[in-house]
């Protein structure tokens, strides 16, 4: 896409002194992301972009940029921005999946020439060193790193204190992608070891995060001295002192990774398809409409412990996002719910088409009426390219 005027000024070095002082020279405060390379956006948009020969080199180039800018110890960053030397937050577990998609699209020679596999392995080893939780699961670095800024399962907690279903579902897919990359490159023993690690993690997710009472997966926060795992579930105590788990669409993400048994998947799909809950008229609500914490404001104030102040962040506590609908459409199809996956694909594509017809732009999230919530100006593409892709897949 062409540079915005604000982005062009930054690249030309002509941003005003006021912009430089405020740290908003690239226009993020108004929703202009054209100068940022974000791990999650690049990775998930590549699902669709790599199927088009015209976009393959660019989509793979974003992966190589993220790998080239990694720290010496292997950490890949959440974002690469022109106004910061480095973004301290690490990427979430999507890099191996991204690398596998690029390798399938561009070939083994491309992957070997750019040393993709050893660099992705280095990031995985970094995650194993720094994100190992005390339950044997992987920790979410922060809600910012997760990409789901206000998700009730991780937002507001200190860094590296939550073992969530989203991080661990993505990690299963990540390790399985490493196994496939190793197999393609002829590293059979390494492929077998990765698959064994993925199987172990799958079992731990099933044993530790599944909650029979609510019918979906929950998050855990380790607490010293408690007598039962239920006391560590991320939730709120009711009047009887019983912990009620918080409900979030991220508790359904193991469907996308194919983790639950068919019986558990059936329960999760029943929960997903409730019209008064997640199943909205234009896509999947990120928090059920009948939940106490559901709200569809454009942005939410969240306290940033690192900056020592509050600031506006993306709202994943009720609005509809193309990304969450895409993940769960794939999850529905994986478990045989083809008609429901098709319905969600059509709703998602219709949402984007109606937004373009009404405003001439695309937004990154919407309310139940299909009104775009953010950004206030400009347009958002990124993983919205998954809308047409979903139609090709399911409709």
Euclidean distance between CA atoms 97 and 178, whole angstroms: 8
Residue range 181-203: mean pLDDT, rounded:
98
**Does the pLDDT at position 51 exceed 90?**
yes
Euclidean distance between CA atoms 268 and 143, whole angstroms: 23
Euclidean distance between CA atoms 209 and 220, whole angstroms: 7
**Does the pLDDT at position 9 exceed 80?**
no
What are the domain boundaries of the chain?
A: 266-311+318-395
Q: What is the pLDDT of residues 204-233, one digit of tens each?
A: 999 999 999 999 999 999 999 988 878 899
- Tokens for 303, please give them: 């306290």
Mapped onto helix, strand or coil, the DSSP state of residue 42 is: helix
Whether the bond between 320 and the residue before it is cis, its omega within 30 degrees of 0, is: no
Share of the chain above pLDDT 90, in %: 81
Spatial CB neighbours of 212, under 8 Å, sequence gap ≥ 6: none
In this prediction, residue 336 carries a pLDDT of 98
Specify burial of residue 325 (Cβ count, 10 A radius: 0-12, 13-18, 19+): buried
Euclidean distance between CA atoms 368 and 281, whole angstroms: 6
Q: Which of 340, 332, 314, 178 is nearest to 253 (CA)?
A: 332
Q: Beta strands of the chain (E only): which ranges?
A: 37-38, 79-80, 210-211, 216-217, 235-237, 243-245, 299-304, 309-314, 365-366, 372-374
Q: Which of 221, 220, 193, 197 is nearest to 209 (CA)?
A: 220
In this prediction, residue 117 carries a pLDDT of 98
Euclidean distance between CA atoms 251 and 153, whole angstroms: 9
Q: What is the pLDDT of residues 332-364, one digit of tens each?
A: 999 999 999 999 999 999 999 999 999 999 999
Buried b (16+ CB within 10 A) or exposed e, 215-236: bbbbbbbeeeeeeeeeebbbbe
**Cα torsion at 224, 228, 234, 239 (round to 10°)?**
-110
Measured N-to-C along each axis, helices 322-334 and 338-359 cross at an angle, to the nearest 10 degrees, of 160
* Cα–Cα distances in angstroms (integers) from residue 42 to residues 49, 285, 300, 395, in the given order: 10, 23, 24, 25
In this prediction, residue 6 carries a pLDDT of 60
Residue range 25-45: mean pLDDT, rounded:
75
In this prediction, residue 23 carries a pLDDT of 44
In this prediction, residue 11 carries a pLDDT of 59
**Does the pLDDT at position 27 exceed 50?**
no
**Does the pLDDT at position 85 exceed 50?**
yes
In this prediction, residue 264 carries a pLDDT of 98
Buried b (16+ CB within 10 A) or exposed e, 118-142: ebbbbbbebbeeebebebebbbbbb
Phi–psi pair at 235, nearest 5 degrees: -175, -160
pLDDT band, very low/low/confident/very high, at 89 (cuts 50, 70, 90) = very high
Spatial CB neighbours of 240, under 8 Å, sequence gap ≥ 6: none
Measured N-to-C along each axis, helices 165-184 and 95-106 cross at an angle, to the nearest 10 degrees, of 30
User: Greater confidence, 78 or 3?
Assistant: 78
Report residue 301 CA to chain centroid gap.
Answer: 20
Residue range 37-64: mean pLDDT, rounded:
97
């Amino acid at each position: 896409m062409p540079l915005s005027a604000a982005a062009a000024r930054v690249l030309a070095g002509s941003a005003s002194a006021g912009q430089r002082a405020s740290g908003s020279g690239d226009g993020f405060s108004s929703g202009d992301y054209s100068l940022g390379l974000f791990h999650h956006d690049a990775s998930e948009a590549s699902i669709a972009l790599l199927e088009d020969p015209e976009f393959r080199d660019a989509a793979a180039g974003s992966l190589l940029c993220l790998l080239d800018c990694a720290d010496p110890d292997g950490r890949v960053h959440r974002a690469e921005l022109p106004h910061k030397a480095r973004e301290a937050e690490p990427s979430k577990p999507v890099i191996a999946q991204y690398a596998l998609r690029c390798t399938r699209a561009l070939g083994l020679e491309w992957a070997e020439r750019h040393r993709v596999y050893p660099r992705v392995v280095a990031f995985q080893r970094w995650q194993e060193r720094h994100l190992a939780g005390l339950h044997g699961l992987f920790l979410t670095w922060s809600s910012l790193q997760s990409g789901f800024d206000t998700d009730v399962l991780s937002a507001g907690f200190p860094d590296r204190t939550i073992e969530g279903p989203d991080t661990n579902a993505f990690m299963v897919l990540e390790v399985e992608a490493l196994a496939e990359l190793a197999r393609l490159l002829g590293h059979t023993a390494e492929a077998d070891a990765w698959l064994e690690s993925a199987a172990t993690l799958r079992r731990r997710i099933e044993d530790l995060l599944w909650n029979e009472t609510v019918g979906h997966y929950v998050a855990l926060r380790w607490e010293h001295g408690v007598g039962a795992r239920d006391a560590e579930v991320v939730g709120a105590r009711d009047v009887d002192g019983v912990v009620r788990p918080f409900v979030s669409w991220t508790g359904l993400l193991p469907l996308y990774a194919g983790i639950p048994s068919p019986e558990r998947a059936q329960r999760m799909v029943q929960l997903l398809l409730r019209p008064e809950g997640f199943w909205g008229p234009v896509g999947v609500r990120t928090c059920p409409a009948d939940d106490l914490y559901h709200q569809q404001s454009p942005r939410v104030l969240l306290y940033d412990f690192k900056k020592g102040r509050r600031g506006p962040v993306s709202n994943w506590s009720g609005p509809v996002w193309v990304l969450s609908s895409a993940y769960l459409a794939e999850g529905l199809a994986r478990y045989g719910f083809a008609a429901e996956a098709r319905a969600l694909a059509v709703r998602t594509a219709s949402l984007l088409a109606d937004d373009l017809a009404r405003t001439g732009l695309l937004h990154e999230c919407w309310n139940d009426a299909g009104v775009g919530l953010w950004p206030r100006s400009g347009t958002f593409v990124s993983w919205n390219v998954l809308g047409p892709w979903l139609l090709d897949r399911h409709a």
